[in-house]
A and B are shown apart, each in its own frame.
Chain A
Amino acid sequence: MISVTGVTKRFGDYVALDDVSLEVPDGSLTALLGPSGSGKSTLLRIIGGLESPDHGSVVIHGEDQTSVAPQRRGIGFVFQHYAAFKHMTVRDNVAFGLTVRKRPKAEIASRVDELLEIVGLAGYQKRYPSQLSGGQRQRMALARALAVEPKVLLLDEPFGALDAKVRADLREWLRKLHDEVNVTTLLVTHDQEEAMSIADQIAVMDHSRIEQVGSPRELYDEPATPFVMRFLGPVTRLGQQLVRPHDIALSHDALPGSSEAQVARVVHLGFEVRAELELGDGEEVAVQLPRNEADELELAPGDIVHVRSTALPRAGAPGGGTDEEPALSA
């Protein structure tokens, strides 16, 4: 388990982390999710020992590591831009941590081969990083980090420099790898979809603080703040309420609590249909509904429909939330 308690970090006048506490359970894959500048990378680097906190402590597996050098923390760290040792072959990259530890040559060789097998780079031993694709380089970096059998694995935007297709593949692959090697993993990302799809637990960060920690589902269904609600998925405003576009029902007839709206645009997104509506007071609402429902309603621009929220009222519902941040689209 990683326990971060009351960590504060300043860079000059800028407060990067403001009294942050977090627990990462053993064997979990936890994501630190937040926009750029929210402090998530700084937190990860403090846990890895690459930065030191001004206040607070970092405990890994029961041992206080706050002032321990990164060399002796027993961590594996993966960087956004791979940090591949460019002048070394794939084999030497992966073997680096073991050669530093002066392990016997035969042991190193078999361990490297085993790891390259796991990350799908068997047969690439003699290549140089410049001869690998971005995705391959990052898998090599993962093998290199895993070679020293770290107690925890820290990943800083590991797929951030890759294109969308490779990113999605590697994400799946990382989740499977995590289930195989089962090492406690903390992953920094700004991509909510990435966090939702692979993490057991997500800590959402904003403005140098942790806003909420929970499972992907908890965060999506019960966001503690308007920020978390916006960051985890698309939102739209219906009257005074902030709701998800799929939590709005449309009907031809007026129902209790519904209000009248005119269809401005209908967008077909395959299985789903997005309808952009205009309320009587000129407010715009985005609604997402399954295609068969849209077909039943025969939605067309200019139609008058009735809208109402089907979202369950919940504790801490960010109904009166301010609308400062722009809504994020899925």
Chain B
Amino acid sequence: MTVSRPWQLGLRVVGLAYLALLLFVPVALIFYRTFEHGLGAVWESITTPAAIHAFQLTLEVTLIAVPLNTLFGIVMAIALARGRWRGKGLVNALIDLPFAVSPIVIGLSLVLVYGVHGWLGGALTDAGIQVIFSVPGIVLATIFVSLPFVVREVTPVLKEIGDDQEQAAATLGAGAWTTFRRITLPSIRWGVAYGVVLSVARCIGEFGAVSVVSGKISGQTETLTLLVEKRFSNFDIAGAYAASALLALIALATLLAMTAIKPRREEGDA
């Protein structure tokens, strides 16, 4: 499509203004307001016991949810890209459910299943396991919302590379596991890495579903996002900004990791 010069400039201005107003300015302002009163105050507010615990809990939940979703994602992507089975279309559509459904609905539905009066909750309580208002609930909610990323990144890569290489490996004597480890996995590694980075970002930033199931007990079930929200509602604006800045920094780090992966990923596809 060819566009005349004034139109080109106009579109650029509109595009950049849109990004600036909605993305750059708010994020920059967070950092500005955070460091407005110096580093000391910021350090103090992100090293309170509650903040440290929230940070640790967020990491812990991410470290459980991301590996599980990566494993599931790779297996499911292979089943979707290579398998011939009944109900594949339906499963394929269901994988996107966490994208389609609002996180808060996901949180509520988890309460319905695992809550004390929930479908499985009674039995679990009798067994001495508390899911809702406890860490397992947060992990479940986080797994749920970040489930599709690895599947959605890896499936198209698998389809694109085809199964020629896997068949060649089989004719050369490689069993299923050797073929996966030496042929399939190296071919999809950038797709997996990309999916993992997106999953990490989603896990760290999750608020809605976690907010419903966590119970928000400070020092116990409070994640970083919940801490930000609590401080904000308690008019601890400076504290909220500091915790937000920490979240934004982690997100930026994952984004940088993603851009570092991107060019190599394209090279791998060539």
Interface residue ranges, A against B (CB under 8 Å): 48-50, 69-73, 75-77, 79, 81-87, 96-97, 100-101, 130, 141, 144-145, 147-148
Contact = CB atoms under 8 A, between A and B. Distances in A.
B151 to A, nearest CB: 22
A81 B171 contact: no
A84 B165 CA distance: 7
Interface of B: 164-165, 167-175, 178, 182-183, 186-187, 268, 270
A130 B173 contact: no
13 contacts: A48-B171, A50-B171, A70-B171, A71-B175, A72-B173, A83-B168, A85-B165, A85-B183, A87-B187, A96-B172, A97-B173, A100-B174, A100-B178
B153 to A, nearest CB: 18
Kindly name the residue among B173, B174, B268 whose own CB sees the greatest number of chain A CB atoms within 10 A: B173
Interface of B is mostly: helix
Contacts of B172: 96-97, 100, 144-145, 147-148
Contacts of B170: 49-50, 69-71
A79 B268 CA distance: 21
A83 B165 CA distance: 5
Nearest to B166: A83
Contacts of B167: 50, 70, 77, 79, 83
Contacts of B165: 83-86
A141 B169 CA distance: 11
Contacts of A82: 164
Contacts of A101: 173
Given A87-B186, A87-B187, A100-B178, A79 B164 contact: yes
A87 B264 CA distance: 12
Nearest to B175: A71
A72 B164 CA distance: 18
Contact of B171 (A75, A86, A87): A75
A-B pairs, top 4 by smallest CB distance, nearest first, are A97-B172, A83-B164, A83-B168, A77-B171
A225 to B, nearest CB: 33
B268 to A, nearest CB: 7
Given A81-B164, A83-B165, A148-B173, 7 more contacts: A48-B171, A70-B171, A71-B174, A75-B171, A85-B169, A85-B183, A96-B174
Given A100-B178, A130-B270, A76 B173 contact: no
